[in-house]
Amino acid sequence: MRYLTAGESHGPQLTAILEGVPAGLALCAEHINKELARRQKGYGRGRRMQIEKDEVKITGGVRHGKTLGSPIALVVENRDFKHWQTIMAVEPIDDEAEVKRKVTRPRPGHADLNGALKYGHRDMRNVLERSSARETTVRVAAGAVAKRILEEVGIRVAGHVIEIGGVRAEKLDYRSLEELQAVTEESPVRCFDPEAGQKMMETIDWAKKNGDSIGGIVEVIVEGVPAGVGSYVHYDRKLDAKIAAAIVSINAFKGVEFGIGFEAARRPGSEVHDEIIWSPEQGFSRRTNRAGGFEGGVTTGMPIVVRGVMKPIPTLYKPLQSVDIETKEPFAASIERSDSCAVPAASVVAEAVVAWEVAAAIVEQFGQDRMDLIKENVERARRYAKEF
C-alpha cells in the first residue's frame, strides 16, 4: 500500500490517491469525515479551523460502500480558496498587482528558504503553500482508510497528548484503549490527566498572549498486532523504522521514540529488556513492554507504543528576524494565520500515519488483494503464535 497527496494550502482542494487497498473493505465518507473532524479540534487552534469544515469526497475506488481493489481517490475542498483564486490561479495572470505580491521574506523555522533554494523559486509562496500543515488533512483521510483495515482484523489505534509546553501528564492509569479514547476525546487538549490538561490550556493561553507558540509530545498506542510483523532481515523492512519515518514526516515533528525510548540510555540492561513469559491461555508474551512492541524491527505481540516530539509552530505573532532574498535587508518575519499550539491536532495526524504503516505491513504480510483472505491469514498467524 502507498499513497500520494497533492494540493496547496490555499488551492482549490487537497487530493490523495491510495493504491493497494484490498478489495472488499467496507468504506464510506462517514468513516473518513469522523477523523477529519477530530483533526480540526483542539485548544490553541487558529482561525483557519473556523473557516474550513473538512469533508471528503470519494471519487474513485469505492462502489456501493466497498473498496474495489483499484486506486482510491479522496478529495477535500479548501473553502477558503474563494479568497485566493487570483493568487493561486493555475493559468498565467496579467494582474501586475498580484505579480508584485511575491513572498520574498523567508520565515525562520519554515521550509520557505530551503525550498526556494531547492527549486529556484523567487516567490516563496510556491514553497509555503505546499509545505503547510494543511497537507496533513488528506494524510488523516488516508489514515482513516488504514484504520478501517485494522478494525477488520481486530487491531485498535489510539493517540493522546502527554506533554505541552513543559506540562506533562502524570496520571495515565487508564485500563483500556477504550477508556483512554473516551476521556481524551472530551479533553480540549486530548490529555487523559485532567489536572495536567488544565495546566496545558493555561500554558497555551500564556503563549498566545505573549505572541509565542509551544510544542509538546504525543503518544500513539496500537493494540492487537500479531507477533512477527515487520522484518529483521532488511533495514528498510523494519516496521519500527517505517513508523519512525512516518512520525518525523509530520510537519514540525523533530523526534521519535518507542517504549521507554531515550530513557533506555540511562538505565542498566536489566531495567530495559522485557522478560519472556508463557501461558497456555496467551502463549508467549512479555512481562513488561519497555521495548514498545518491537524487537529487531519485528512486532512482539505487545502493544506498539510510539511517541513523537512536536516543536513549537514557527509562525509567531512576535516575529523572529530574517533576511529578504531580493533586497538582502533584515526584517521581522511576516505573520501568516496560524495556531499558538497544534499538538492536540497533531496527535490525530500521528494516529493516522502510524495506522497507515501498520495496515500496509499487515496487507503486505498477510495477503494483498482481498480483505476476507487477509482476515483469515491474520487469525491463522495468531493461532500459530499461541500454539508455537
Whether residue 312 is annotated as binding a ligand: the answer is yes
334 among annotated binding-site residues? no
Average per-residue pLDDT for the chain? 93
| C-beta contacts of 243-247 below 8 A and 24+ residues apart | 243/304, 243/306, 243/353, 243/354, 243/357, 243/358, 244/306, 246/353, 246/354, 246/356, 246/357, 247/306, 247/308, 247/350, 247/353, 247/354
Q: What does the pLDDT read at residue 272?
A: 97
How many Å apart are CA 386 and CA 384, to the nearest integer?
Answer: 5
Is 315 labelled as part of a ligand binding site? yes
Q: Which residues of 67-103 are buried (b: 16+ CB within 10 A; e: fewer)?
A: bbbeebebbbbbebbeebeeebeeeeeeeeeeeeeeb
- 92 assigned binding-site residue: no
Whether the predicted pLDDT of 339 surpasses 60: yes
**What pLDDT does 104 receive?**
93
Q: Is 241 annotated as a binding residue?
A: no
311 is in an annotated binding site: yes
114: annotated binding-site residue?
no
pLDDT of residue 319: 74
Checking if the pLDDT of 235 tops 90, the result is yes
Is 132 within any annotated ligand binding site? yes
Please say whether the beta carbons of 138 and 74 come within 8 A.
yes
Does pLDDT of 234 surpass 60?
yes
Band (106; pLDDT cuts 50, 70, 90): very high
Is residue 349's pLDDT more than 70?
Answer: yes
Per-residue pLDDT at 338 exceeds 70: no
130 is in an annotated binding site: yes
- The hierarchical CATH code for the domain 2-387 is 3.60.150.10
335 falls in which pLDDT band (50, 70, 90)?
low
23 is in an annotated binding site: no
Tell whether 251 is in a known binding site.
Answer: yes
How far apart CA 32 and CA 292 sit, in angstroms, is 28
137 is in an annotated binding site: no
Using the predicted structure, report yes or no on whether residue 50 has a pLDDT greater than 60: no
Considering the entire predicted model, what is its pTM?
A: 0.94
pLDDT tens-place string over residues 154-187: 999 999 999 999 999 999 999 999 999 999 999 9
Is residue 314 a known part of a binding site? yes
